[in-house]
Amino acid sequence: MTIRKDVFANVDHEVDVCVVGAGMAGLLAAVAAARHGAKVVLMHDRPVVGGNASSECRVHICGADRHNTIANMRETGILEEIRLENLARNPNRSFSVWDLILYSKARYQEGLTPLLNCSCIGAQMDGARIKSVTGWQTTTQTCHRVCASIFVDCSGDAVLAPLAGAAFRMGREARTEYNESIAPEQADARTMGMTCLFSARKYATPQPFSPPAWAYVFDGDEDLPYGAGGHGWWEMGYWWVELGGESHAIHDTEHLRDELLKIAIGIWDHIKNRGSHGAENWALDWLGFLPAKRESRRYIGEHILTQNDIEASGPFEDVVAYGGWTMDDHHPAGFWAARLGSPATVFHEAPSPYGIPYRSLYSKAIANLMFAGRCASATHAAMSSTRVMGTCSSMGQAAGTAAAMAARRGLEPRRMLDNLGQLQQALLLDDCYLPRMSVKVSPLTRFAALSTRRGNGEPVRDGVHRPVGTDLHAWTASEGDAITYEFDESTEVSTVTLVLDSALEKNIAMSFHQADDQLRSLPACLPESFHIDVRQGGNWKEVARVSGNFQRHVRVPVDRPVEAVRWTLDRTYGAEQSRVFAFYVD
Ligand SMILES: Cc1cc2nc3c(=O)[nH]c(=O)nc-3n(C[C@H](O)[C@H](O)[C@H](O)COP(=O)(O)OP(=O)(O)OC[C@H]3O[C@@H](n4cnc5c(N)ncnc54)[C@H](O)[C@@H]3O)c2cc1C
């Protein structure tokens, strides 16, 4: 098919990095690449970004902290920045406000051009390299062609794999292929299914509900064992309204949507009209018409992450991301698995954290193709853990950072293995966590004389930004406390970097029903205001005063020669004490 140039518009783009798909993996990849100096296009087929986390699907971001059952394992970096902004700006947990926050990250990031409502439908090759990709933008009836040095596929469906001829897999590996005990004996094409979620709202008066004639009818609670049984009607949401694992997870989506709507409405009809569920005053508030997908194509990269890698905690030298969710392997029959007497999912234990290698984020055969998120290179078993969005975000930030660094150096992604230390340090300095790794603190920070008004300040330069085991890796400050670096002589300081206390030991989630201990507003221990003074010619002078802070990772420009730098905590959001995980001068 050729696009009629007299009818439709054509626009060409020339960039360093093109990211396809703006789920959490793609959004973070694009933002990270742009912040590392790359010119970036983010091509995304929906009007809102965030993929399954957006208002179109409303899936909650989970990760290695497993709703805080594993303390201090929350993903930091850009994801923490977004979640803290959501705590600050979205007290009602509105998905529209959340959409706006994600949209702002993509739309107003310098160096980043989002192409929304634009579906990637083609790739033009130059041998084993992608030269450009083509996208069709429905709102403008425009064909966009994006030439880039590096392409990062975060489409979930790995759309560039068949388009570029990269190796991929769909379905479950046989147990013997990678010696995975949780894999089926025979390989098959089955996947985890997709879901149309819904939510309800409570009113002061009874609310009737009349289902359309096409909805399924579930008369008794026994028809819905996952709802009334172990998972509860309200507590765990409706993730088990799942289909598609035994169909084609891409080409059958429209038909599966129809079936999912019949089931979802049938469940709501049951709750309202056919059982005793105390739902008289509840009304259907929202129903997702875009099925949220769990699994489709997965790339085969330089390394395929397996169950055994995860169980061994992923001790890779090229670790660039981490996970920690259980291997949460949903039954391919999804909703109908109950009729087979099977559970909707089996949670196979996994360590948290486990490392994810860089080699799982780039293609073996296509020289300039990277990927992140649920389509990264992992077996079905491993992906049943890595697919949660905290982990996808961690992979996305790593892939975007690597793509920008590779593009700047004129390297293929694979060659970044020769620059691994720099990639890992860039991620750590951006406040990503990499298990067992620490920041190589600059000589300026390391050799300065450190003093505090009280307590041991040394942990602020030990290079670890969170409590690990029994070690806090932090200096504990009260309001009015200060920490100072003094240099032997007047020294040019460009930036002060702080990693502050955002209560990683607590849970952050989008809705309030999930866990009682979750943060509903900014954590009390987070510094709301602080200031920075420098000493020049023996005199102290304030160079920055920050109030209304809601971030954990803060960079403050100083840009002058100084004899000493001092950071003072003025006020927290209510706690008596706050921990400082890093105070670096560069
Ligand atoms: C019902 C359900 C419940 C879940 N529960 C949780 C949970 O509680 N917590 C959790 O963290 N995870 C959960 N997951 C898993 C998680 O949502 C996914 O694994 C995750 O969204 C994958 O992130 P991603 O960024 O890789 O892809 P996605 O979120 O799928 O985003 C990819 C984006 O790329 C876009 N795209 C696709 N093709 C193209 C194209 N050709 N051109 C342009 N754009 C394209 C898509 O529209 C999509 O928005 C759940 C999944 C489902 C389905």
Q: The domain that contains 405 carries what CATH number?
A: 3.50.50.60
Residue 35 sits in the same domain as residue 161: yes
- Ligand 1 shell residues, CB under 6 Å: 20-21, 23-26, 43-46, 51-52, 59-62, 119-120, 154-157, 159, 194-195, 197, 239, 292-294, 373-374, 387-390, 392
Distance 456 CA to ligand 1 centre (A): 44
- Residue 535 to residues 80, 489, 491, 545, 567: CA-CA distances in angstroms? 33, 11, 11, 16, 12
Q: Are residues 521 and 448 in the same domain?
A: yes
Residue 175 lies in a domain: no
How far is the C-alpha of 387 from the C-alpha of 61, rounded, in Å? 10
Q: Average pLDDT for residues 464-476, to the nearest whole number?
A: 96
pLDDT band, residue 224 (cuts 50/70/90) = confident
- Domain residues for the domain of 512 are 443-585
Protein residue with least CA distance to atom 15, ligand 1: 388
Question: Chain-wide mean pLDDT for the chain?
Answer: 95
Span 160-171, average pLDDT: 98
Q: Is the pLDDT of residue 495 over 70?
A: yes
Task: State the average pLDDT over residues 131-138.
Answer: 98
pLDDT of residue 119: 98
Separation of 290 CA from ligand 1 center, angstroms?
11
Q: Do 149 and 97 fall within a single domain?
A: yes
For residue 385, what pLDDT is reported? Answer: 98
Contact 371, 361 (CB under 8 A): yes
Q: Of 269, 287, 305, which marks where a domain is finished?
A: 287
Looking at the structure, tell me whether residues 319 and 224 fall in a common domain. no
What's the pLDDT score for residue 518?
Answer: 81
Q: Is residue 449 part of a domain?
A: yes
Kind and range of the H or E run holding 121:
strand 118-126
Residue 256 has pLDDT above 70, yes or no: yes
Task: Check if the beta carbon of residue 192 is closer than 8 Å to that of residue 294.
Answer: yes
* The ligand 1 atom nearest the CA atom of 294: 53
Residues 21 and 154 in one domain: yes
CA atoms lying within 13 Å on the CB side of residue 470: 0
Residue 529 within any structural domain of the chain: yes
The answer, yes or no, to whether residue 11 has pLDDT greater than 90, is yes
Structurally, how many domains does the chain consist of? 3
Q: How far, in Å, is the centroid of ligand 1 from the Cα of 85? A: 21
Contact residues for 171 (Cβ-Cβ < 8 A; gap 6+): 187, 188, 189, 190, 191, 380
Is 176 within a domain? Answer: no
Single residue among 372, 407, 429 that ends a domain in this structure = 429
Question: For 13-19, what is the mean pLDDT?
Answer: 98
Together in a domain, 157 and 238: no
User: Is 183 a member of any domain?
Assistant: no
> End of a domain among 403, 429, 455?
429
Q: Whose CA is nearest to atom 16 of ligand 1?
A: 388
Task: Determine the angle formed by the axes of helices 420-429 and 389-409, rounding to 10 degrees.
Answer: 130
Cis bond upstream, residue 443 (ω within 30): no
Specify the ligand 1 atom closest to the Cα of 24: 25
Res 230 pLDDT > 50: no
Q: Is residue 198 part of a domain?
A: yes
Residues 282 and 307 in one domain: no
Is the pLDDT assigned to residue 233 strictly greater than 60?
A: no
Residue 512 has pLDDT above 80, yes or no: no
pLDDT digits (tens, 9 = 90+) for 302-337: 999 999 999 999 999 999 999 999 999 999 999 999
Nearest protein Cα to ligand 1, atom 10: 388
Kindly state whether residues 465 and 319 are assigned to the same domain: no
**The one-letter amino acid at 80:** E
Beta strands in 212-365, from DSSP E residues, in sequence order: 242-243, 282-287, 298-299, 319-323, 327-330, 345-348, 354-357
Look at ligand 1, atom 4, and give the residue with the nearest C-alpha.
59
For atom 27 of ligand 1, the residue with the nearest CA is: 156
CA of 99 to the centre of ligand 1 (A): 15
Centre of ligand 1 from the C-alpha of residue 155, in Å: 8
pLDDT tens-digit readout, 340-379: 989 889 999 999 999 999 999 999 999 999 999 999 999 9
Which CATH number covers residue 574?
Answer: 2.60.120.260
Mutate to test the pocket of ligand 1, among 18, 52, 115 (most ligand atoms within 8 A of CB): 52
What CA–CA distance (Å, rounded) separates 84 from 508?
9
Q: Is residue 3's pLDDT more than 80?
A: no
Please state the atom number of ligand 1 nearest to the C-alpha of residue 61.
Answer: 11
Among 45, 59, 296, which is best to mutate for testing ligand 1, by the most ligand atoms less than 8 A from CB? Answer: 59
| Model confidence at 568: pLDDT above 50 | yes
Residue ID of nearest Cα to ligand 1 atom 48: 51
Whether pLDDT at 293 is above 50: yes
pLDDT for position 273:
94
Choosing from 57, 155, 160 the residue with most ligand 1 atoms within 8 A of its CB, the one to mutate for a pocket test is: 155
Q: Does residue 86 surpass a pLDDT of 80?
A: yes
The Cα–Cα gap between 392 and 45 comes to 19
Same domain, 79 and 103: yes
Same domain, 319 and 418: yes
How far is 509 from 389, CA to CA, in rounded Å?
12
pLDDT at 228: 57
Q: Where are the alpha helices (DSSP H) in 430-519?
A: 443-447
pLDDT of the residue at 229? 47
Residues 310 and 276 in one domain: no
Residue 248: which residues within 8 A CB-CB, separation 6 or more? none
Same domain, 475 and 520: yes
- Over 80: is that where the pLDDT of 227 sits? no
Domain presence at residue 94:
yes
Predicted pLDDT of residue 6: 84
Atom of ligand 1 nearest to the CA of 372: 26
pLDDT attached to residue 275: 78
Letter string b/e over residues 60-90, b meaning 16 or more CB atoms within 10 A of that residue's CB: bbbbbbbebebebbbbbbbbbbbbbbbbbeb
pLDDT exceeds 80 at position 403:
yes
Look at residue 35 and tell me if it is in a domain.
yes
